């Protein structure tokens, strides 16, 4: 939208922007410095009886119950004549209003919004980010009705959303609440860019000062956005909005219907490793426009905003999105083959250091996402739907390429999901397996049982050799001592945050939360711990002095072994035509290695 030139937009009615709306939302942001807003919602005439209004207990893109209603105060309800209506709170996200006669209902409440990192609501003197799940109440009775939103904002603010603009400044309209809740609003002082790719319109909205180069971002987003055709045969939008927050520390991202919000600390854009993190996140969220927003598992259709939405397929929703994000950037020329393979190698290394991969399947992890809290127990007994889902997608892709003699890849599975299972449909395990059978001529039930319903066990060396890749730790790599502990320095002390299951520390009886004091009787600090361990050899027994439940304890620890350096993926100098063809069918680019298996200079 174009910025208003009025000092404050104070509109007592929604005007022409709301003529066709059945549910009218107003939010007053005219005094944003204390993170407060006034929200008003007017619903159409409702019947006599109990009239419920709700605020969701979770937001899309984060599969966990959140205390969103804690930001609501001064709730009131009135009828069409402005008379107060009796109400009571019936659940954490529900208010029940009693109607003794048919009437329209207006609900008013104060909203506190200072949760930037949750990407639900944040209001300050420079902007407001509004995700409807934490801002706008709805009535199940009118969930399918058209809505309009009018903002009252300071003079120099600009307002943007994936929703269509209304006829008044700072107003938006949507066909129903489900579109509203998946179309966040960014309003405030920001930088705005427009561009196009593959016949679609795009916008970039940057809030916050930082070391980003807006023109470079536009260039790379243009290249990325043009690559959707590598997977899907159409677009579910005509216009897409990239919202980027340069923050004081908050980071993360969330996908929406035809927009995304991406957050990074303000000086985390210029260095190449930081920029890759940003642009990879942008790719991830862009892919979600298809995978999750256009088609998603049946357990998520339709969204139930007041309860958990259970499905064993979140690993496809999130892990497969992670799997494709680097591929689109690689095809677009935004990420080099070297950077792509480095990312894959890091993921493999991380998996090898996650004992939970031996315990939990990706199907179980999908069902457990709603109650996942992370930490030491999770590392040792669980897997992550993103990282493990990535590797399950890799295994599925390689299996399908092999079974179809390179005629089909995992991209074709998602192309079919988009063609045949778009919302309001939802796909099931049986649907995915049928697609796999149609593409390969093979029953994927056994594969699914061993790779999805059971803990994923992959021999990466033989798997990647199909694409002509070899794994190694470099010529200077050597065995070095390993404790199996992760340290976190708190107030100068050396406290263990994680102890790897069945690792050296675990076997010695050391647990997360223990505080390390000394090695072989000599004091050790968090900064010097790793160096001190390297003074010993693999197999050496060292005496660890620590606090366990505030009691001094001495433990004998036998040092294990790990390879120094980083895992590296390179081309096989003896790669066959078949392996090179497999590589191209997998990633969509030509073989990037020379006859020695080294990446070509331009890579």
pLDDT at 475: 76
User: Hey, which residues does 488 pair with through a beta bridge?
Assistant: 495
Mean pLDDT of all residues in 79-107:
97
Tell me, yes or no, whether 199 and 218 share the same domain: yes
Domain containing residue 176 = 23-180
Helices 410-420, 320-332: axis angle to 10 degrees equals: 110
Tell me, yes or no, whether 100 and 206 share the same domain: no
Pair 141, 48: CB distance under 8 Å: no
Q: How far is it, in rounded angstroms, from Cα 295 to Cα 91? A: 31
Q: How far is it, in rounded angstroms, from Cα 116 to Cα 265? A: 12
Structure-model confidence comparison of residues 355 and 530, the more confident one: 355
Collect all residues with Cβ–Cβ distance below 8 Å to 397 and sequence separation of at least 6: 323, 409, 410, 586
Tell me, yes or no, whether 514 and 465 share the same domain: no
Tell me, yes or no, whether 381 and 455 share the same domain: yes
Mean pLDDT of all residues in 177-193:
98
pLDDT at 487: 84
- How confident is the model over 263-287, as pLDDT tens digits? 999 999 999 999 999 999 999 999 9
pLDDT at 9: 33
pLDDT at 489: 62
pLDDT at 102: 97
Q: Do strands 239-247 and 103-112 pair parallel, antiparallel, or not at all (unpaired)? A: unpaired
Q: How far is CA 566 from the centre of its chain?
A: 26
CA–CA distance from 332 to each of 54, 226, 485, 602 (Å)? Answer: 43, 8, 40, 15
Mean pLDDT of all residues in 286-300:
98
13: pLDDT confidence band, cut at 50, 70 and 90?
very low
Tell me, yes or no, whether 537 and 505 share the same domain: yes
Mean pLDDT of all residues in 524-547:
92
Name the CA radius of gyration of the chain, rounded.
27
Domain count, the chain: 4
Tell me, yes or no, whether 250 and 154 share the same domain: no
pLDDT at 442: 98
Is the per-residue pLDDT at 136 higher than 70?
yes
Tell me, yes or no, whether 447 and 490 share the same domain: no
- How confident is the model over 50-64, as pLDDT tens digits? 999 999 999 999 999
Answering whether pTM is above 0.85, one says: yes
Mean pLDDT of all residues in 545-557:
95
Is the per-residue pLDDT at 366 higher than 90?
yes
Is the per-residue pLDDT at 569 higher than 50?
yes
Q: How far is it, in rounded angstroms, from Cα 69 to Cα 60? A: 16
Is the per-residue pLDDT at 79 higher than 70?
yes
Buried b (16+ CB within 10 A) or exposed e, 142-155: bbebbbbbbbbbbe
CATH classification at residue 456: 1.10.390.10
- Please name which of 213, 222, 272 lies closest in space to residue 244, comparing C-alpha atoms: 213
Tell me, yes or no, whether 469 and 545 share the same domain: no
pLDDT at 565: 86
- Work out the mean pLDDT of the chain and round it to a whole number: 94
pLDDT at 477: 84
Residue where the block lists tokens 């426009």? 289
526: pLDDT confidence band, cut at 50, 70 and 90?
confident
pLDDT at 476: 78
602: pLDDT confidence band, cut at 50, 70 and 90?
low
CA–CA distance from 537 to each of 221, 507, 511, 544, 560 (Å)? Answer: 49, 18, 23, 15, 9
Q: How far is it, in rounded angstroms, from Cα 206 to Cα 594? A: 41
What SS3 string covers 507-522? Answer: HCCCCCCCEEEEECCE
Tell me, yes or no, whether 492 and 554 share the same domain: yes
- How far separated are the first and last CA of the chain, in Å rounded? 41
């Amino acid at each position: 939208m174009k910025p208003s030139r009025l000092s404050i937009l104070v509109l007592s009615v929604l005007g022409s922007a709301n003529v066709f709306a059945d549910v009218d939302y107003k939010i007053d942001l005219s005094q944003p410095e204390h993170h407060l807003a006034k929200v008003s919602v007017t619903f159409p005439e409702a019947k006599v009886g109990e009239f419920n209004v709700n605020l969701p207990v979770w937001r899309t893109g984060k599969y966990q119950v959140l205390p969103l209603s804690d930001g609501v105060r001064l709730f009131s309800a009135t009828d069409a004549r402005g008379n107060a209506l009796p109400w009571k709170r019936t659940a954490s996200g529900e208010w029940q209003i009693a109607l003794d006669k048919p009437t329209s209902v207006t609900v008013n409440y104060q909203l506190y919004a200072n949760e930037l990192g949750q990407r639900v609501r944040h209001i300050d003197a420079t902007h407001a980010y509004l995700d409807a799940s934490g801002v706008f109440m709805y009535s199940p009775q009118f969930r399918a009705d058209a809505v309009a939103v009018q903002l009252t904002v300071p003079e120099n603010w600009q307002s943007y959303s994936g929703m269509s603009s209304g006829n008044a400044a700072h107003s938006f309209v949507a066909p129903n609440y489900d579109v509203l809740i998946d179309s966040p609003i960014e309003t405030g002082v920001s930088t705005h860019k427009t561009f196009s790719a593959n016949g679609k319109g795009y916008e970039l909205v940057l809030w916050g000062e930082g070391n980003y180069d807006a023109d470079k971002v536009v260039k790379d987003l243009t290249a990325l956005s043009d690559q959707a055709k590598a997977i899907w045969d159409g677009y579910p939008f005509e216009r897409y909005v990239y919202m980027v927050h340069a923050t004081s520390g908050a980071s993360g991202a969330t996908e929406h219907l035809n927009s995304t919000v991406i957050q990074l600390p303000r000086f985390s854009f210029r260095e190449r490793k930081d920029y890759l993190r940003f642009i990879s996140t942008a790719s991830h969220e862009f892919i979600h426009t298809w995978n999750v927003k256009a088609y998603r598992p049946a357990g998520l259709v339709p969204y139930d905003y007041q309860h958990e939405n259970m499905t064993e397929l979140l690993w496809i929703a999130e892990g497969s999105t992670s799997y494709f994000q680097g591929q689109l950037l690689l095809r677009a020329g935004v990420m080099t083959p070297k950077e792509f393979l480095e990312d894959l190698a890091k993921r493999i290394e991380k998996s090898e250091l996650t004992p939970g991969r031996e315990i939990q399947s990706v199907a179980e992890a999908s069902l457990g996402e709603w109650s996942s809290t992370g930490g030491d127990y999770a590392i040792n007994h669980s897997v992550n739907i993103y990282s493990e889902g990535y590797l399950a997608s890799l295994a599925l892709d390689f299996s399908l390429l092999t079974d179809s003699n390179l005629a089909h890849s995992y991209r074709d599975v998602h192309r079919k999901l988009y063609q045949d299972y778009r919302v309001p449909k939802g796909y099931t395990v049986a649907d995915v397996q049928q697609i796999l059978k149609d593409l390969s001529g093979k029953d994927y039930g056994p594969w699914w049982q061993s790779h999805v319903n059971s803990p994923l066990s992959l021999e990466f060396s033989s798997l990647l050799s199909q694409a002509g890749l070899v794994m190694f730790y470099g010529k200077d790599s050597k065995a070095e001592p390993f404790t199996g502990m992760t340290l976190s320095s708190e107030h100068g002390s050396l406290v263990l945050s994680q102890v790897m299951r069945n690792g050296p520390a675990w076997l010695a009886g050391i647990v997360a939360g223990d505080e390390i004091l000394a090695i072989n009787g000599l004091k050790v600090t968090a900064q010097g711990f790793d160096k001190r361990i390297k003074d010993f050899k693999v197999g050496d027994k060292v005496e660890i002095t620590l606090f366990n439940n505030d009691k001094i304890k001495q433990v004998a620890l036998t040092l294990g072994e790990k390879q120094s350096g980083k895992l590296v993926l390179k081309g096989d100098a003896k790669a066959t035509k078949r392996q090179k063809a497999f590589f191209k069918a997998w990633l969509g680019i030509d073989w990037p290695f020379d006859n020695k298996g080294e990446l070509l200079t331009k890579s």
